Chain A
Amino acid sequence: MPSTVALAVTRYRPEEESEPTFQTYEVPFRKDWVILDALNHVKDNLDGSLSFRWSCRMGVCGSCGMKVNGTPKLTCATFLSDYLPGPIRVEPLDHFPVVRDLVVDLTDFMRKLKQVKPWIIRNEEKPLSEGEYLQTPDQVDMYKQFSMCINCMLCYSACPIYGLEPSFIGPAAIALAQRYNMDSRDQGAAERLKILSEHDGIWQCTFVGECTKVCPKHVDPAGAIQQYKLTAATHWVKALLLPGGTR
């Protein structure tokens, strides 16, 4: 076991440089340390100017997504010991503008997420006195996988389509739309269809499948998109063939 490991970290200080560079830090190697621990060690002991995002340290908040040796990872769940002997390359997520060092701007995703209406839409809310909207375990099972998304943006970083076509709504937003479409309490599928079946929606996806591979919560956005392609295509055929459309 080595006593230290080298961390090659992207630095980008817009007031000083026009392009990102790498800076190497030698950090103590500990078996129970994840990349985020090493970054925090750098921040606390070696270089306080290094900027990165993190919060929960337990794979729930989705803030600490970065590229580790070229692969998008949650740095709180990626152990140093898996990357020995190093140096370990830590870079900001791809396809998002870099604000500083390892911090990227996610405004684009936030705007797209809102577009797909990721909330329960009811034609008419039932009065409170009638009680809750009940669901069977099987009904929960239909959407539970997609509801595990923590918006960590690893899938956007892994998606070459999003890199080439920034207007693409993208994996997580579509998976989250599907999360509500599959919810037995929701009645908003038709509203979402308009956004999802547009040019920038599901049809931009060419099924590279990398989003599913990098997802730390096993959401399977690639599956969500392909399944929705089937739904949208069926809807289109029905609208074409049935008098009065799909009502």
Chain B
Amino acid sequence: MSTEPHYTLYHPRWYRRRVSVWWWLQNRSYTAFVLRELTSVFVAFFAVVYLWQLRALAQGPEAYAQFLARLKTPRLLALDTVAFLFVLFHAITWFNLTPKAMVVRLRGKRVPDWAIVGLNYAAWFVLSGVVAFILLRGR
């Protein structure tokens, strides 16, 4: 707490409840919120893996083969799966929240929430498709 609210100073008999450390377990949407905040750790994890991959690539084919072999170890596969689930949760929850922050007006009328969410998902799928096409083209 940064500052004590000044208004209870002269009212020592007013009762102030403290927020419990476990407030985020009190209801499901608080828990979902804290989980969504936690997903940022896994987003960072994928960024680090990507940097690691780039470094291995720069070091030559042998280092890259070693990198790939390491990715296939059960421990990293498990971690990757968990991280992927969290990142998926991250993407879906944030996509669903976009209409709250983004108000688009067309001819004075507000574009409905489902259209904004839908466009986000559409862009996500199209971009994923393009990336998949580029990666799998040569196979």
List A residues at the B interface (Cβ < 8 Å).
12, 14-15, 19-20, 70-71, 94-95, 97-99, 105, 107-108, 111, 138, 141, 160, 163-167, 206-210, 212-213, 220, 222-223, 226-227, 229-230
Q: Are A163 and B29 within 8 A (Cβ)?
A: no
Report how far A172 CA is from B97 CA in the complex, Å. 19
Q: Are B97 and A207 within 8 A (Cβ)?
A: yes
The interface residues of chain B, by DSSP majority, are classed as loop
Instruction: Pick from A70, A97, A209: contact of B14, CB below 8 A.
Output: A97
Whether A70 contacts B5 in the complex (CB less than 8 A), given A99-B14, A209-B97, A223-B101, comes out as no
Report how far A208 CA is from B29 CA in the complex, Å. 8
List B residues at the A interface (Cβ < 8 Å).
1-5, 7-8, 11, 13-17, 19, 23-24, 26-27, 29-30, 33, 37, 97, 100-103, 108, 110
Residues of B within 8 Å of A95, CB to CB, are 17, 19
Q: Are A138 and B108 within 8 A (Cβ)?
A: yes
Q: Are A97 and B33 within 8 A (Cβ)?
A: no
Instruction: Pick from B15, B23, B29, B101: contact of A213, CB below 8 A.
Output: B29
Residues of B within 8 Å of A209, CB to CB, are 29, 33, 97, 100
Instruction: Pick from B8, B29, B33, B103: contact of A227, CB below 8 A.
Output: B103
Q: Are B30 and A163 within 8 A (Cβ)?
A: no
Q: Are A163 and B23 within 8 A (Cβ)?
A: yes
Residues of B within 8 Å of A98, CB to CB, are 14-17
Report how far A208 CA is from B30 CA in the complex, Å. 7
Q: Are B27 and A70 within 8 A (Cβ)?
A: yes
Q: Are A165 and B1 within 8 A (Cβ)?
A: yes
Whether A223 contacts B30 in the complex (CB less than 8 A), given A163-B23, A167-B3, comes out as no
Question: How many A-B residue contacts, CB cutoff 8 Å?
Answer: 87
Residues of A within 8 Å of B5, CB to CB, are 97, 108, 166
Q: Are B15 and A14 within 8 A (Cβ)?
A: yes
Q: Are B29 and A12 within 8 A (Cβ)?
A: no
Output the least CB separation between B20 and chain A (Å): 9
Output the least CB separation between B37 and chain A (Å): 7
Q: Are B108 and A70 within 8 A (Cβ)?
A: no
Residues of B within 8 Å of A165, CB to CB, are 1-2
Report how far A46 CA is from B108 CA in the complex, Å. 55
Report how far A111 CA is from B3 CA in the complex, Å. 15
Residues of A within 8 Å of B37, CB to CB, are 206
Whether A223 contacts B26 in the complex (CB less than 8 A), given A105-B14, A166-B3, comes out as no
Instruction: Pick from A14, A111, A213: contact of B13, CB below 8 A.
Output: A14
Residues of B within 8 Å of A12, CB to CB, are 15
Report how far A167 CA is from B4 CA in the complex, Å. 8
Output the least CB separation between B44 and chain A (Å): 17
Instruction: Pick from B14, B19, B110: contact of A14, CB below 8 A.
Output: B14
Q: Are B15 and A163 within 8 A (Cβ)?
A: no
Q: Are A163 and B19 within 8 A (Cβ)?
A: yes
Whether A105 contacts B7 in the complex (CB less than 8 A), given A95-B19, A210-B29, A210-B30, comes out as yes
Residues of B within 8 Å of A141, CB to CB, are 108, 110
Q: Are B1 and A164 within 8 A (Cβ)?
A: yes
Residues of B within 8 Å of A230, CB to CB, are 101-102
